[in-house]
Structure 1
Amino acid sequence: MRLIYLFVFCLPIFSMAQDSIELKKRGKLSGQWRTYYMMTSNKGELKDFNSLATGGKLKYQYNLIENLEIGAALYNATNLGIQDLTIPDGTTGRLSRYEEGLFDRLDLENDAVFLFGELYAKYHLDQHSFTLGRMKINTPLINPEDGRMIPTLVQGFWYKYNKQKTSFQFGILNEIAPRSTGKFYGIGESIGTYPVGRNNFGTASQYADNTASDYILMANVDFEVTDDFNVRIWNQYVDNIFNSFYIKPAYKISASLMLEGEWLHQNKMGEGGSGIDSLRYFNQKSSDVLGMKIAYKSKAGLVSLSYNRILPHGQFISPREWGREDLFSFQKRERSEGSADNHALVLNYKKDFTLLKDLNLMSILSIGKHWKPYPIDAILNKYAMPDYTHINLDIFFNIKKLKRLQPELLLTSKMGNGDIPDNANFFFNKVDMFHLDLILNYNF
């Protein structure tokens, strides 16, 4: 059955060459073939996980009339079945955290996920563009988050204006297809398709299928104050749940030195998702995240030091279903979301170098220290995450003779620090673990 799914998905690729002349007249066919291996090694006798997926996307864009484009993209993730991910760890009773995300994590018995993730009309006019339908957007709090087979996608209306020193965006969204699922959901329905963590009483949160929200309003403006100073501002209003205001100023001290800051302020809107306390998603008045980043670029590479502080009065809350958190201290395979009274310090080093004559590498080494509230404290630590040290090595391969092939290797180690309760749930898929991703992307 898996081979039949793959044949159906690949058939347009094999016929592409025959139709290339006609396609050039009518529009543009593009896509990506992705094969993704993922592995997690947990502490001691806790279960290890492996998964292998293949699939990708096919996209077709057609110029209906001058300045008017219509487009559609079909996404697929096919499970090649190297491990049965429906069997939980024997000690904790829990499933994999990362590997299941390659597929439909709400239906792991579904071997092949297909999703019409993009289906839109787009009109261009000078510096303006208007898009209506299903699409991919990239914002600080809603974004594709490309570390899975199928990214996060949205449905609604999006407007963009671009000028030389100023840009503006505005959108209204009424549905979201969270990454690692196989369908679009209403805004409230989409919250809770990922693990829900704990409520303030230390029991499992119950906001899944109980969160009421009909739409999201988003707006962004980027502008240059001077040649060396620019500001980026976003506002995200989630109906009946919360509002997030984000500002990121950046100052270029010299040709080599950059200083940036960020502030994310959240406050409750309406009922916070539900009028019943035990079912409420945003169950606090407000939260604040402050950040600072300094970056230095030289011939030896780009090095940066970042610090984020989540203040004690409220958890930073943002649906994990909607993409990654675009904070300075973010590191692949973990988050600060769900914490209050949190500190994070991260050192990044990015370097391009030639390994062989026809092979160039871009490597990113990331070393982070994360100070969390005590994991038993449910009010400050929603997901019971201990203090940890996080090391990532991310390598991107550029093969000159195979320019369409773009492999990536991610190595991750997270080590628990300090006093961690003697309970496997505080370690499993969290700390004292090693994780590996090997991704083969072929773009056409």
Structure 2
Amino acid sequence: MLRFILLSIFALGFHFLLKAQTEEKKIDILPEVHFRTFWMNTSYSDAEFKSDYALGMSLNLGAKINYANYWSFHLGYRSFANLRSSDIWSPDPGTGQANRYEIGLFDVLDPRDRFFGKWETFSLSYSKDRYGIKAGRTGINTDWVNAQDGRLSPTAVEGVHAWFSPVNNWKIGFWAIGRMSVRGSSEWLRVGETVGLYPQGRNVSGNPGNYFGNTDSKWLSIVEVDREFSKGSKLHFSHTLTQNLFSTTWGAFEKSKKLNQGTLNLGVQSGIQHTVGKGGNSDLSLAYKAQGDLNYALSGRIGWRNGRWITHLNYTHVGGRGRWLSPREWGKDAWYTFMPRERNEGYESLNALVGYVAYRLEKIPLQLYAHGGIHRLSEVADASANKYNFPSYRQLNVGLIYQPEKIKNLDVHLLLVSKEPLSSEKLTPNQTYNKVELLHLNGIVNWRWNK
């Protein structure tokens, strides 16, 4: 059905392109280039664990073809190269666990493949002032399905996106998605086939998860509603429904108030999640989302910013019955306490407190920033409440972003991540490797060009 819709929209678009010969209509071709190189290195305080490193590069070549102010055809092909790396495809000898970080730069389905590529973008859109529709392969940025652009390429989706604005300050959007190409993959896969590409954790009985290849879900849909109010307030709502897996309802209210020397920012988020259908599989040992799960989440933020400083303090609480889940293949967490290089899905209970501060220098195009967070998770002994056997931890991120004025759209990003357990109790090797007692370094050069 989804392919029929896509083909129908493309046929309709090209029909109009060929038919409109009596009016003067302009075609604009806008080339696009996106180059990224990424260095990643992970080391552990315990020398017995396997350290890894990788240097990767990606290049996306594409174009936007605009016609008659309303039609746009967008295509882009991205190629990948593993320029140098350790044996990231080999598991850690002591724990038997696979590499978690560096392997995501390349193809997790074939990590030994040093050169590959994929059509990342291939879409046709029609838009006017108050409505629009796009079909094909495209980027996405929603609460629980998003680009998570922290590797060599973003996550993209294949489907239909429509939106309309009935009146000023209101916008309603809808997504129907049939296939996805998640970061760290060369393939376009059905929704259920993407689950389990990354570390699968434990099932509710404590045995190794085996969701990859055993999760049945054919599509997902997303509805978004946004309303902007006067005086800096806005309301956001979304509903993410994944066939035979789960339903997530999410809402947020944010308000900004200008002060004499800056802006005060306040925000609150909340959501609920429950199982849909068989949770991915009728076999309870293979089900991604357990029957009867019902979770809730609350998140809040208070912040302040001016021309040079950005600061905010954030808190998230998750509770309910069963695990709050969102496939790590699909994007980053929506709650305010998200920190790059870790996610907090897969837990029945979560209490996270995260602070952020950033400063932009006056005479140098350089921004310095830091994240600091404390994350209390469900007990590691309770597999039904702690999917990844992950101990409560503290995390510190320190980074800088340099954007030279002489080279437009170029940025250089350095990020250092430290994660340590909150408890002084002895952890098992499986509770340490890929999780805590580690240093993680990223060096990124990113450049975009479009005409």
TM-score (norm 2): 0.89
Letter aligned with residue 400 of structure 2: I
Question: Structure 2 regions of 5+ residues with no counterpart?
Answer: 1-25
| Rounded Cα–Cα distance in structure 2 between residues aligned with 1:314 and 1:285 | 5
CA pair 159-107 structure 1, distance change in 2 beyond 3 A: same
2:193 and 2:213 in contact (8 A); partners too: yes
Instruction: Call closer, same or farther: CA 1:215–1:415 in 2, change over 3 Å.
Output: same
List gaps (5 residues or longer) in structure 1: 1-23
Alignment match of 1:337 (pick from 317, 322, 345): 345
The runs of at least 4 aligned residues of structure 1 exceeding 4 Å deviation read none
After superposition, residues 40-439 of structure 1 pair within 5 angstroms as: 40-45=42-47, 46-162=49-165, 164-255=168-259, 256-283=263-290, 284-298=292-306, 301-354=309-362, 357=363, 359-439=364-444
- Structure 2: how far apart are the matches of 1:420 and 1:253? 45
Q: Hey, what's the Cα distance between the residues in 1 that align with 2:256 and 2:410?
A: 35
Letter in 2 for 1:167: K
Distance in 2 (CA, whole Å) between partners of 1:422 and 1:231 is 43
How far is the alpha carbon of 1:299 from its aligned partner? 5.7
Aligned counterparts of 1:96 and 1:287: Cα–Cα separation in 2: 30
1:390-413 Cα shifts (integer Å, max 9, x gaps): 001121111111223211111111
Q: CA deviation at 1:26?
A: 4.5
- Rounded to whole Å, the distance in 2 between the matches of 1:100 and 1:189 is 19
Q: Secondary structure at the match of 2:288?
A: coil
**CA distance in structure 2 between the aligned counterparts of 1:351 and 1:262, rounded to whole angstroms:** 26
Q: CA RMSD in A?
A: 1.7
Structure 1 residue 297: Cα displacement: 2.0
The answer as to whether partners of 1:312 and 1:342 remain within 8 angstroms in 2 is no
Contact 2:305–2:311 under 8 Å retained in 1: yes
Question: Could you tell me how far 1:252 is from its partner in structure 2?
Answer: 2.9
Secondary structure (helix, strand or coil) at the match of 2:144 reads: coil
Contact preservation (8 Å) 1:76, 1:149: no
Find the residue that maps to 2:91 and give its secondary structure: coil
**Residues 368 and 121 of structure 1, relative CA distance in 2, 3 Å threshold:** same
Q: 1:387 offset after TM fit, Å?
A: 1.2
Alpha-carbon spacing, 1:401–1:300, altered in 2? closer, same or farther (3 Å): closer
Cα separation, 1, equivalents of 2:28 and 2:332: 36
Asked whether the equivalents of residues 366 and 392 of structure 1 are also in contact (C-alpha less than 8 Å), the reply is yes
Query: Given residue 153 of structure 2, which amino acid in structure 1 is its aligned partner?
Result: I
Offset of residue 161 of structure 1: 2.5
1:287 Cα shift? 1.0
Give the match's secondary structure for 2:325.
Answer: coil
Q: Is the 8 A contact 1:386 1:420 kept in 2?
A: no
Map Cα deviations across residues 155-210 of structure 1 (whole Å, 9 max, x no partner).
00001224641222111001111110111111111111111110111111222211
Q: CA deviation at 1:225?
A: 4.2
**Alignment-mate amino acid for residue 175 of structure 2:** G
